[in-house]
Amino acid sequence: MTAAVPPHEPPDIVAAYSDGGLAIPVWRNDLGGITYRLGDGPTARYLKWQPLDPEASVDAEARRLAWAALFVRCPAVLDSGHDDDAEWLLTAAAPGVSAVIDPWLHTPEVTVPALGRGLRRLHDALPVDSCPWTWSPLDRVADARTRGTDVDVTAADAPEIDHAVVCHGDACSPNFLLSAPGEVTAYVDLGSLGVADRWADIAVAAMSTRWNYGPGWEKPLVAAYGVDVDQDRMDYYQRLWDAT
């Protein structure tokens, strides 16, 4: 998830890539990472900078973006790097506007069904057999515990897999870009992309509608995805998300 960017001194790498041009901070993530828009219009680039953190790797995101771009629209990787304290990823702009920015934020009756359809298209497009990564409950619990997180949800409690897909890994509303008249045109923040039960994504996408659009939009998202609500799987994967 993301938050407004507080006043700050941009890291030196921002000036290096912007070459004195426009550099606007647009997002701040929970790890203290900031994404900057460099330039404007269709030639704009985006620089994601964040402190080194075991929870998220910019290098891992770059590799996943390069793979996913063979099958769906997502930001093209232009460069990446790191120093002793931080890492960064430079991408080209992708088509569309985040689902939590006007006009999409205030038209959930259009936006939420589009998110459900867009998530389904992502799952249908990415080939499970050739995906190099997994995002199973076992992976996620083990990773969280390695980081020192006290996880009260176990992989043994996971429901039987309904349908394995390549999951987005952070299917929250801000990570879908929409274009008129209201369809998902690109996907961003794919750093946790990997094979898992489709409900691992559906549950989080549905839960995210509460945070971004208010109550009552979970069922419309699931319906637009094209399945009936499976409350047991929804509950488990929402608890797993919160725990890890």
Name the residue with tokens 């897909």: 165
Residue 222 has φ and ψ, to the nearest 5°, of -65, -40
d(CA 37, CA 27) in angstroms, rounded, equals 9
Binding annotation for Mg(2+): 175, 189
Binding annotation: 175, 189
Q: Three-class SS of residue 134?
A: strand
Q: Three-class SS of residue 241?
A: helix
Written as six digits, the tokens of 37 are: 């828009």
**Taking the C-alpha atoms of 100, 101, 104 and 106 in order, what is their torsion angle to the nearest 10 degrees?**
90
- Active-site annotation holds for 30: no
Which of 3, 91, 99 shows the shortest CA–CA distance to 47? 91
Check 40, 59, 170, 228 and give the catalytic one. 170
Ranges of beta strands (E only) in 147-226 are 164-167, 176-179, 183-187, 194-197
Written as six digits, the tokens of 229 are: 């609500």
Q: Which residues are catalytic?
A: 170
